[in-house]
Chains A and B, each alone.
Chain A
Amino acid sequence: MDNMENVDNVENEVVTKEAPLPGSASQEEIRAYYSPLRYGWGAFCAFFGFSTKTHRASKKRAKLVLDIATYIILLLGTFIMIYPFWWMLAGSFADTLGSGSTDLFYQMVWWPSKSTTQGQSGDLFYNYSQVLANCFEPPASGIPEGYSYWRAVLNNLIYSIVPVVVGVITSASAAFAFSKIEWYGRNFVFFFLLAAVMVPGPSVMITQYVMYDTMGWRQNGLALIIPGLFGSIMTAFFIRQFLFGLPTSIVEAAKIDGAGYFRIFCQFILPLAMPAIMAQGLLSFMGCWNNYMGSYIMIDDQTAWINLPHAMYIVQNQLGENQGPVIAASVLCVLPVMILFACFQKLIINSLMLTGSKE
């Protein structure tokens, strides 16, 4: 594109060699052909980057106009993508307790502000204090004994750190075996695992439920921990793709120096594949943090092992019209993931891009 610009025009210009009129053209046709209106329209179009028969628009101008249009479209899209989050944040400060005080809740809010009839406390952070102090306490209907908001956060952290950290390492070890070690049955095992991706989760949901129920994992939260420890196939495939990009000579050299495979894995592969491992780990962390369905189906809701989204669902059912604390809880649920994503966005996006280009 860049070297094209050197050859091509950089300024709008009038086309001098237009297709000639046929000799039989009448006087009106010739007048219309050279009319100032036609040329004016051409100049107008060229100003906005569109070439016509009379004027050729400059490449630079065309690019500029297209860039502006692109920015407008993308900014509009950004507004659509971001505004619900902004509304969530602003709406979480609204007062929804008093009757007729929900005006702020049902408006295009641009800035968090106190509602006019600030119900009970006059506190801007009333909804948040409700979430942290009252809403998740056991007396509320449906919430199990021994539960609180901080217990929900703790559960969420357990469910999303333990299986993810262990699972990513087991996935990485499998990926190492698939990419850098020659062993009997490697291809068979690979396709055996690949085929498992095709099995839809809901189809085996029943037997998984029965398994966890029988082993008592529904009552102590292990149902959301143990399966994750074994690693995930898609994670292993992704890290495998990444490891294919590393030179095998590293492994060979380490082997000649007398290092065993375990040592090679710990000291070479794990550090070298750290970007891929981190990205996959972060993505699974986010997935586990938001895992409503897993907790709803697999965890006994009479125990204190339900996770945060599940508890939010129970709480909002009994809050009824008072949706302010629900939105505040939503903000608190989204915030950690957002912060994490903001910190590691480059890593995550690049890893996703790699997935896309490898397909």
Chain B
Amino acid sequence: MDEKATLSAAEEVAEEAIPVEGAETAEAVPAKKKRKPINQQKLQDNLWGWIFCLPLIVGTVWFVYVALVMALMLSFTDYMVSEPLMEYLFTLGDHPAFYYDKLTQVNVEGADAWYKYIFAYKIYIKEVASLPGDGYRVEMWYYMFNTVFYMIGIPIGMILSMFFAVCMSRDIKGGNLFRVLYYLPCVASSISIVFTFRILFKTQGVMNQIFGLSGGEGQAGFAWLIGDGNQTWNDIAHKDIHTEFYLNPFWCQGLISKCVIIIMSVWKGLGGTIILYVAGLSGVNAATKEAAQIDGANGWQIFWKVTMPDLYPTIFYNIVTAVIGGMQIYAEPVLMYNESYLTSGYVSLIWNKGINKSDLGNAYASAGAAYGMFLAVIILVLTLFQFWLDSRNKD
């Protein structure tokens, strides 16, 4: 049945493609039958190629490209979520001219008003109030700093997972079992992990017991989480230094809380990277390795001179994806500490300005879109920079 249906459908299309005057006498003309098989095959190829791809193309265009272009246009306008703009757009209502005007209407304060806002909007930060200045700082840089700070986890995770991958790809029994066990955190939901880690890292919690930091009589335990106490750099290491810089530097606020997020994300992401590295290591040329061994190279030299060059594509892929993913960190800090300029990532701003009404009094989708575009540009620049480094490396 299927076969007949497809064949007849293909024939229909084939006949549609034939010039109109020949269509009625298609069976009667023998010259046409000669060419028909070739045409039909090609037509079928094209037809089914497009049909099979259509859902993916539609989804991508709709939810990525259209959304991207609309976000770009929105960022230059002054649109609020409560306005019925999109209703006009999607129901194609009575006033097409209206929504076109609205979407392309430049923000009254200038098209780049929201982009200026990103770099100009200041919030009061009580941690820097004692420093010169009035304590009002540009909000965006604080969130960006947190995002970049969380990327410390990337090299740590790289080295750790490389180490474990080398261990696992040794010729030992049960290497596969370890791979599975290390991958477990990757499949667990981040919300469960956050809830667990929040208790493990409490002042009287398990982590402090392991490291003997629980405190004791009259002595407070080590505070990992932001709610458990104020942790400046002074509290941790530089108790004697009371210079202006060390007294209340902005970057040390919530430092340990941020480190908890880093520990958690390294722990969660380790398994996935290990698997990629194990796959890469199994692809390393064994003959080259053996040759190097016969030539008298030791294990360390073989690792750096033979294994690493072969592993380079995997490492590069891992770093690129980790940086792209790291720029988009959102859920973990917010779940752990709620929204805060000391811990939240940059994506929090997009949510808070564009969708959540609490921040600006209204949800300015345009502001969120502008923040989103800035993030996209940063990620693009970072990725291009890495590919540029890569191309330099190859020469």
Is A357's CB under 8 angstroms from B283's CB? yes
Would you list which residues of chain B between 198 and 216 have a CB under 8 Å from chain A? 199-200, 202, 204-206, 209-210
The answer on a CB contact under 8 Å between A292 and B58 is no
Contact assessment for A81 and B279 in the assembled complex, using a CB-CB cutoff below 8 Å:
no
Select which of A74, A201, A352 is within 8 A of B272 by beta carbon.
A352
Establish whether residues A87 and B195, one from each chain, have CB atoms under 8 Å apart when the complex forms: no
In the complex the two chains form, is B90's CB within 8 Å of A261's CB? no
- Known: A87-B196, A206-B372. Is A259-B3 also a contact (CB below 8 A)? yes
Contact-size category for B: 35 or more
Please name 22 pairs of A and B residues whose Cβ atoms are closer than 8 Å in the assembled complex, sorted by A.
A81-B181, A84-B267, A88-B192, A88-B196, A173-B55, A174-B52, A177-B52, A196-B64, A202-B328, A203-B372, A207-B70, A207-B365, A210-B365, A213-B86, A227-B59, A260-B9, A262-B2, A289-B189, A290-B189, A334-B189, A352-B272, A357-B282
How far, in whole Å, are A323 and B55 apart by their CA atoms in the complex?
A: 44
Known: A84-B200, A193-B60. A73 touches B44 (CB 8 A): no
Q: Are A231 and B59 in contact (CB under 8 A)?
A: yes
CB distance from B389 to the nearest CB of A (A): 17
- Write the nearest CB–CB distance from A137 to chain B, whole angstroms: 20
B379 CB to nearest chain A CB (Å): 5
Contact call B350/A330, Cβ cutoff below 8 A: no
Is B153 interfacial (CB 8 A cutoff)?
Answer: no
Interface hit among B20-28, B121-129, B172-180, B249-257: B172-180
State in angstroms the CA–CA spacing of A73 and B274 once bound together.
14
Q: A208 near B63 (CB under 8 angstroms)? A: yes
Residue in B closest to A208 when the chains form the complex, CB atoms:
B67
A358 shortest CB reach to chain B, Å = 9
Q: Report which residue of A203, A229, A231, A356 has the largest number of chain B beta carbons within 10 angstroms of its beta carbon.
A: A203
**CB nearest to A354 among chain B residues:** B279
Across the interface, A184 reaches (CB within 8 A) one of B3, B46, B192, B380, namely B46
| Pick from A70, A198, A331: contact of B380, CB under 8 Å | A198
B277 touching A106, Cβ below 8 Å:
no
B86 touches A263 (CB 8 A): no
CB-CB under 8 A for A170 and B55, given A193-B60, A214-B87? yes
Stretch at the interface among B138-146, B163-171, B238-246: B163-171
B92 on the interface (CB 8 Å rule)? no
Shortest distance between the CB of A70 and any CB in chain B (Å): 5
Chain A residues with CB under 8 Å of B49's CB are 177, 181-184, 186
Interface pair B65/A196, CB less than 8 Å apart: yes
- Residue B100 at the chain A interface, CB threshold 8 Å: no
Q: Roughly how many angstroms separate A77 CA and B327 CA in the complex, as a whole number? A: 27
Residues of chain B within 8 A of A357, CB atoms compared: 279-280, 282-283
Q: Across the interface, which residues of A come within 8 angstroms of B180, CB to CB? A: 345, 349
Flag if B167 contacts A73 (CB, 8 Å): yes
Residues of A within 8 A of B90 (CB): 211, 214-215
CB within 8 Å for A230 and B67 given contacts A176-B52, A207-B74, A263-B2: no
Is A309's CB under 8 angstroms from B275's CB?
Answer: no
Most buried by A among B68, B172, B196: B196
Contact of A338 among B57, B87, B184 (CB under 8 A): B184
Asked if residues A181 and B48 are in contact (CB atoms below 8 Å), the reply is yes
A1 to B10, CA, bound (A): 58
Residues of B73-125 at the interface with A, using a CB-CB cut-off of 8 Å, are 74, 81, 85-87, 89-90
Chain A CB within 8 A of B6 CB:
yes
B183 within 8 A of A: yes
B window 270-322: CB within 8 A of A: 270-272, 275-280, 282-283, 290, 293, 313-314, 317
Sorting the interface of chain A by its residue count into under 10, 10 to 19, 20 to 34 or 35 or more gives 35 or more
CB proximity of B324 to chain A, nearest CB, Å = 7
Interface residues of B (CB under 8 A from A): 2-3, 5-7, 9-10, 44-46, 48-50, 52-53, 55-60, 62-68, 70-71, 74, 81, 85-87, 89-90, 164, 167-168, 170-172, 176, 178-185, 187-193, 195-197, 199-200, 202, 204-206, 209-210, 267, 270-272, 275-280, 282-283, 290, 293, 313-314, 317, 324, 327-328, 330-331, 335, 347, 350-351, 354-355, 365, 368-369, 372-373, 375-376, 379-380, 383
- With A183-B46, A214-B86 as given contacts, are A85 and B375 in contact (CB-CB < 8 Å)? no
A346 to B200, CA, bound (A): 31
Residues B71 and A203 in contact, CB atoms below 8 Å apart: yes
Residue in A closest to B351 when the chains form the complex, CB atoms = A297
Report Cα–Cα, A193/B65, bound state, in Å: 10
Query: Most B CB atoms within 10 A — which of A87, A181, A356, A357?
Result: A356
Question: Which residues of B are found within 8 Å of A87, using beta-carbon distances?
Answer: 196, 200, 206
Taken residue by residue from 209 to 233, chain A's Cβ proximity to chain B (1 for < 8 Å, 0 otherwise) reads as 1110111000000000001011101
Q: Smallest CB-CB separation from B206: which chain A residue? A: A108
Known: A81-B182, A204-B71. 20 other contacts (CB 8 A): A1-B171, A74-B167, A77-B178, A81-B271, A84-B193, A84-B200, A87-B196, A171-B56, A183-B45, A184-B49, A185-B50, A186-B49, A203-B68, A203-B373, A203-B376, A204-B372, A213-B86, A262-B6, A345-B180, A349-B179
Known: A208-B63, A352-B275. A260 touches B10 (CB 8 A): yes
Contact across chains for A201 and B328 when beta carbons are under 8 A apart: yes
CB distance from A99 to the nearest CB of B (A): 14
Q: Is the CB of B355 within 8 A of A297?
A: yes
Q: Which of A153-183 contact B (CB under 8 A)?
A: 170-171, 173-174, 176-178, 181-183
Residues of B close to A330: CB separation below 8 A: 189, 191-192, 195-196
Interchain nearest-CB distance for B310 vs A (Å)? 11
Contact A230 B375 (CB under 8 A): no
Complex Cα distance, B185 from A286, in Å, reads 12
Chain B residue numbers with a CB within 8 Å of A215 are 90
Taking a contact as CB atoms under 8 Å apart, the answer to whether A349 and B176 are in contact is: yes
Tell me which residues across on chain B come within 8 A of A177, comparing CB atoms.
48-50, 52-53
| A263-B10 Cα distance, complex, nearest whole Å | 13
- B188 touches which one: A173, A200, A261, A338 (CB < 8 A)? A338
CB–CB A211/B67 < 8 A: yes
A111 on the B face (CB < 8 A) = no
Q: How far is the CB of A236 from chain B (nearest CB, A)?
A: 6
